[in-house]
Amino acid sequence: MNLKGKTILITGASSGIGESFAYLLASKGAHTVLVARSKAKLDQIAQEIQDKYQVNAWVYQKDLGIVSSAQELYQEIKGDGVDVDIIINNAGFGKWGKFEEFSLETYTSMIQLNINSLMELCYLFIEDFKEKSESGIINVGSTASFIPVPYSSVYAATKSFVLYFTEGLVGEFADTNIRISCLCPGSTASNFSAVADPNKQADTSTTNSLSSDEVARLGLEAFQAGKHYVVTGRRMQLKIFKFLSRKRVITLIADYWKKLLGLEK
Ligand SMILES: NC(=O)c1ccc[n+]([C@@H]2O[C@H](COP(=O)([O-])OP(=O)(O)OC[C@H]3O[C@@H](n4cnc5c(N)ncnc54)[C@H](OP(=O)(O)O)[C@@H]3O)[C@@H](O)[C@H]2O)c1
């Protein structure tokens, strides 16, 4: 798909993978619609993109962890006459620690952001996309989409939804002009771990991370190549897990995270 002149909405564009997508797509001549809560950061990115690549960059400050915010966002974009061709549902956050360590409000807004808003934006934009000759959706899952993750149970379950939901849509829209793909990153250098683990409980010093630029590039390449999903980073563990019982996988991952978080007795 030729991205030049396309208008691409990116949620979570103020940092990490979303910010990298914004610069990458602008460098290919695409206009961007940047969404997140941090307006100053979005304004700065939009300004840089417009100056450097001579494309449009619209900014929408929105907390997608709030009920109905995705529908509000859609209405605002339509009201402004912005015609979106591709959406990248990238905004998301996780928490690392014991299940009961975090508030119910935290989990509710995680589910609202990672699942409900993502699904709602797909639902709303797909109606418009049916009328277009070329359009698309990239939903950002995780390597956690494939496995249960003790000590990040709610987050991993939300990402499991993202992969299965996206693959469902891939099947439903296979014979249309809507291209759909799920980007499943492994560990990526971004603000993610600071949000997941603000007290730096986890020792991630030995974790190998890809840069967010690299992950966005691989995600876009997969989308362009018509792949319905792509895993970035270390894939070997996921392959090995296929040969073990689910119980064994759960135990292994629980032990790994207990150690990482210093929860071992
Ligand atoms: N980094 C990793 O290792 C990794 C691995 C697998 C999957 N992922 C996934 O990759 C995606 C991007 O994460 P990242 O690594 O780039 O982390 P990041 O640097 O923390 O970026 C997260 C983005 O989401 C936005 N966001 C968070 N809460 C939001 C809310 N309530 N409403 C609107 N926007 C919100 C943030 O902006 P504001 O704070 O300004 O709102 C930010 O732009 C996420 O879906 C994450 O689950 C990351």
Determine if ligand 1 sits within 6 Å of the CB of residue 219.
no
Q: Distance (Å, rounded) from C-alpha 217 to C-alpha 166? A: 19
pLDDT at 105 over 70: yes
Phi then psi for residue 185, to 5 deg, are -75, 145
Q: Which amino acid is at 24?
A: L
Domain contains 259: no
Domain contains 154: yes
**pLDDT at residue 124, as a whole number:** 98
Q: What distance in angstroms lies between residue 130's CA and the mean position of ligand 1's atoms?
A: 28
Determine if ligand 1 sits within 6 Å of the CB of residue 16.
yes
Q: How confident is the model at residue 237 (pLDDT cuts 50, 70, 90)?
A: confident
Q: How confident is the model at residue 265 (pLDDT cuts 50, 70, 90)?
A: low
CATH code at 192?
Answer: 3.40.50.720
| Total number of domains constituting the chain | 1
Q: How confident is the model at residue 60 (pLDDT cuts 50, 70, 90)?
A: very high
Residues in Cβ contact with 252 at an 8 Å cutoff, skipping those fewer than 6 apart: 244
Domain contains 70: yes
Domain contains 160: yes
Name the residue range of residue 94's domain.
7-234
Mean pLDDT in residue range 241-260: 94
Least confident of 118-122, 180-184, 197-201, 226-230: 197-201
Q: Distance (Å, rounded) from C-alpha 215 to C-alpha 20? A: 8
Domain contains 263: no
**pLDDT at residue 40, as a whole number:** 98
Q: What distance in angstroms lies between residue 133's CA and the mean position of ligand 1's atoms?
A: 30
pLDDT at 206 over 90: no
pLDDT at 207 over 90: no
Q: Which amino acid is at 78?
A: K
Contact 182, 164 (CB under 8 A): no
Domain contains 188: yes
Domain contains 180: yes
Least confident of 30-34, 109-113, 119-123, 237-241: 237-241
Domain contains 28: yes
- Choose one of 107, 118, 142, 190 to mutate for the ligand 1 pocket test, by most ligand atoms within 8 angstroms of C-beta: 190
Q: Distance (Å, rounded) from C-alpha 241 to C-alpha 42? A: 39
pLDDT at 90 over 90: yes
pLDDT tens digit string along 27-47?
999 999 999 999 999 999 999
Beta strand spans in the chain (E): 7-11, 31-36, 57-61, 86-89, 135-140, 178-185, 188-189, 210-211, 229-232
Determine if ligand 1 sits within 6 Å of the CB of residue 185.
yes
pLDDT tens digit string along 66-81?
999 999 999 999 999 9
pLDDT at 203 over 80: no
- Choose one of 9, 11, 14, 231 to mutate for the ligand 1 pocket test, by most ligand atoms within 8 angstroms of C-beta: 14
In this structure, the residue with its CA closest to atom 36 of ligand 1 is 12
Contact 96, 204 (CB under 8 A): no
